[in-house]
Structure 1
Amino acid sequence: MCPAVSFAYAGGLLATGLADVTTDLAALDSRGWWAVVVTYEGKVTCARFDTVRPARHPGGAWHAPGEWTSSLDESRYVAGVERIKASIADGIVYQANLCRVLSAPLAPGAGVAGLGARLARGNPAPYAMTLEVPGTAVACASPELYLRRDGEVVESRPIKGTGRTAADLLAKDEAENIMIVDLVRNDLGRVARTGSVTVPALCEVEPHPGLVHLVSTVRARTTAGWPELVAATFPPGSVTGAPKSSALRLLDELEPVPRGPYCGAIGWVDADTRRGALAVGIRTFWAEDGLLRFGTGAGITWASDPRSEWRETELKAARLLEVASGDAAQDLDERGAARP
Structure 2
Amino acid sequence: MPHDPSQIGSGEAGGTTASLRKEGREAAGASRHDLIALFRNDLTHETITFSAPQDILLAEKPEEFVPALRQAEEFRRGGKWLAGYVSYEAGYLLDASLVPHLPEDRRAPLLCLGVFDGPSELPPQSSPQTTEPLLFDATPAWRLAEYEERFARLHHHIRMGDCYQGNLTFPVSARWQGDPLRLFERLMERQPVRYAAFIDLAGPVVLSRSPELFFEVSADGWIETLPMKGTMPRGKTTQEDAALKEALRNDPKNQAENRMIVDLLRNDISRISEVGTLDVPELFRVESYPTVHQMVSRIRARLLPGSTLLEILAALFPCGSVTGAPKISAMKILRSLEVAPRDVYCGAIGWVAPDGRMRFNVAIRTISLYPGGEAVFNVGGGVVFDSTAEAEYQECLLKARFTDADLT
Equivalent residues of 2:112, 2:201 under 8 A apart: no
**Does 1:134 pair with 2:196?**
no
Equivalent residues of 1:10, 1:267 under 8 A apart: yes
In 1, Cα distance between equivalents of 2:203 and 2:246: 43
User: What does residue range 1-340 of structure 1 map to in structure 2 within 5 Å?
Assistant: 1-3=23-25, 5-11=34-40, 12-23=47-58, 24-26=68-70, 27-28=72-73, 29-30=76-77, 31-42=79-90, 43-54=110-121, 58-60=125-127, 61=129, 62-107=132-177, 110-151=178-219, 152-164=221-233, 165-169=244-248, 170-222=251-303, 223=305, 224-270=307-353, 272-288=354-370, 290=372, 291-318=374-401, 320-322=402-404
* TM, length-normalised to structure 1: 0.89
In 2, Cα distance between equivalents of 1:54 and 1:97: 39
CA deviation map 1:117-153 (0-9, x unaligned): 2122222210101010132410111000111011311
Task: Return the offset for 1:55.
Answer: 5.3
- The structure with the largest strand share of the pair is 1
In 2, Cα distance between equivalents of 1:21 and 1:228: 21
In 1, Cα distance between equivalents of 2:361 and 2:139: 26
CA deviation map 1:270-293 (0-9, x unaligned): 1x2211210000011111353111
Extract unaligned runs of 5+ from structure 2: 1-22, 26-32, 41-46, 59-67, 91-109, 234-243
In 1, Cα distance between equivalents of 2:121 and 2:377: 28
In 2, Cα distance between equivalents of 1:265 and 1:278: 6
Task: Return the offset for 1:67.
Answer: 1.6
Q: CA RMSD in A?
A: 1.8
Task: Return the offset for 1:247.
Answer: 0.4
Equivalent residues of 1:22, 1:46 under 8 A apart: yes
Structure number with larger C-alpha Rg: 2
- % identical equivalent positions: 34
Task: Return the offset for 1:51.
Answer: 5.0
Task: Return the offset for 1:64.
Answer: 2.2
Q: Give the residue type in structure 2 aligned to 1:33.
A: W
Equivalent residues of 2:228, 2:295 under 8 A apart: yes
Segments ≥4 residues shifted beyond 6 Å:
none
CA deviation map 1:300-337 (0-9, x unaligned): 0011111000000011111x221x67xxxxxxxxxxxx
In 2, Cα distance between equivalents of 1:258 and 1:197: 33
Distance 1:32 1:120, change over 3 A: farther
Pairs aligned (count): 320
Query: In structure 2, the residue corresponding to 1:36 is in which secondary structure?
Result: strand
* TM, length-normalised to structure 2: 0.74
Query: In structure 2, the residue corresponding to 1:14 is in which secondary structure?
Result: strand
